[in-house]
Amino acid sequence: MPIVRSKAIDRSTISKPSSMPLFMKEIPPTIELANDSDRTSINPVQIIPTSLSRTALYEKFKSKIIHNPSLSRNLVSFQANKQAPFSAWFKYKEGFSERLVTYLLQTLKPQPGILLDPFSGVGASLFAASGLGWETIGIELLQVGIFATKARLIAQKIDINLFNKVIAEIKQINFAEYYHPSHALQHIPITRGAFSVVEEELLVGYISYCHKFVMNDDIRNLLLYAAFCILEDISYTRKDGQYLRWDSRSGRSLGKIPFEKREILTFPDAIHQKLNQIVSDLDASSIQLDLFADSLPSQFTVNPKLYQGSCLEILPTLQENSIDFVLTSPPYANRYDYTRTYALELVFLGCREEEIKHLRQTMLSCTVENRDKRPQLEQYYKSLGRLQDFIKVDYIFQQHEALQEVITILETYKKQGKLNNAKVAKMVHNYFYEMCFVTYEFARILKPGGIVAMVNDNVRYAGEEIPVDLILSDIAESFGLTTRYIWTLGRGKGNSSQQMGDHGRSELRKCVYIWEK
Instruction: Give the whole-angstrom CA distance, residue 368 versus residue 334.
Output: 9
R_g (Cα) of the chain, nearest Å: 25
CA-based angle 338:344:346, to the nearest 5?
Answer: 65
Beta bridge partners of 111: none
Measured from the Cβ of residue 162, the count of other Cβ atoms closer than 10 Å reads 12
| Topology classification of domain 10-153+294-516 | Rossmann fold (3.40.50)
Residue by residue, pLDDT tens for the chain (517 residues) are: 333 333 343 433 333 444 456 565 544 343 333 333 333 333 334 444 578 999 999 999 999 999 999 998 888 887 766 667 788 899 898 888 999 999 999 999 999 999 999 999 999 999 999 999 999 999 999 999 999 999 999 998 999 999 999 999 999 999 999 999 999 999 999 999 999 999 999 999 999 999 999 999 999 999 999 999 999 999 999 988 677 888 888 887 666 777 888 889 999 999 999 999 999 999 887 665 444 444 444 344 568 999 999 999 999 999 999 999 999 999 999 999 999 999 999 999 999 999 999 999 999 999 999 999 999 999 999 999 999 999 999 999 999 999 999 999 999 999 999 999 999 999 999 999 999 999 999 999 999 999 999 999 999 999 999 999 999 999 999 999 999 999 999 754 444 444 434 444 467 999 999 999 9
What sign does the dihedral 132-137-139-145 (CA atoms) show?
Answer: positive
Question: Who contacts 337 (Cβ-Cβ below 8 Å, separation ≥6)?
Answer: 242, 243, 360, 366, 367, 369
- 437's CB contacts (< 8 A; 6+ apart) are 312, 315, 377, 393
Is residue 354 helix, strand or coil? helix
Could you tell me which of 433, 291, 445, 288 has the C-alpha nearest to residue 364?
433
d(CA 238, CA 198): 19
In b/e form, how buried is each residue of 18-34, taking b as 16+ CB within 10 angstroms?
eeebbbeeeeeeeeeee
Collapsing DSSP to helix, strand or coil, 450 comes out as strand
Look up residue 178 and give its amino acid: Y
Q: What angle do CA 222, 227, 228 make, to 5 degrees?
A: 90
What phi and psi values does residue 168 have, to the nearest 5 degrees? -60, -40
CA atoms within 13 A on the CB side of 274: 26
Report the alpha-carbon distance of residue 201 to residue 204 in Å, rounded: 5
Q: In Å, how far from its chain's centre is CA 101?
A: 15
pLDDT recorded at residue 332: 94
Cα dihedral 87→88→91→95 (10° resolution): 40
Cβ(237)–Cβ(331) under 8 Å? no
Q: Quote the pLDDT of residue 77.
A: 81
Helices (H), 351-423: 353-362, 374-383, 387-399, 401-415
Instruction: Tell me how far apart the alpha carbons of residues 453 and 445 are, in angstroms, rounded to a whole number.
Output: 14
Q: Is 185 helix (H, G, I), strand (E, B) or coil?
A: coil
Cβ atoms of 447 and 517 within 8 Å: the answer is yes
CB atoms within 10 A of CB 495: 17
- Are 467 and 402 in contact by the 8 Å Cβ rule? The answer is yes
Q: Is 417 helix (H, G, I), strand (E, B) or coil?
A: coil
Encoded amino acid at 289, one letter? L
Q: Are 149 and 126 in contact (CB under 8 A)?
A: yes
C-alpha neighbours within 13 Å on the C-beta side of residue 41: 13
Please tell me the pTM assigned to this model: 0.87
Domain-wise residue ranges, the chain? 10-153+294-516
Show the CA angle centred on residue 424, arms to residues 419 and 426, nearest 5°.
Answer: 135
Fill in the DSSP letter of residue 96: -
pLDDT at 251: 81
DSSP 257-326: S----S----HHHHHHHHHHHHHHHHHHHHHHHHHHGGGS-GGGGPPPEEEES-HHHHGGGSPTT-EEEE
The per-residue pLDDT for 243 is 79
Distance, CA of 217 to CA of 208 (rounded, Å): 14
Residue type, 489: L
Geometric angle at alpha carbon 233, from 244 and 341, rounded to 5°: 25
- With H, G, I as helix, E, B as strand and everything else as coil, classify residue 126: helix
- Cα–Cα distance, 321 to 116 (Å, whole number): 12
- 196's CB contacts (< 8 A; 6+ apart) are 236
| Contact yes or no for 274/226 (Cβ under 8 A) | yes
Q: What is the pLDDT of residue 258?
A: 79
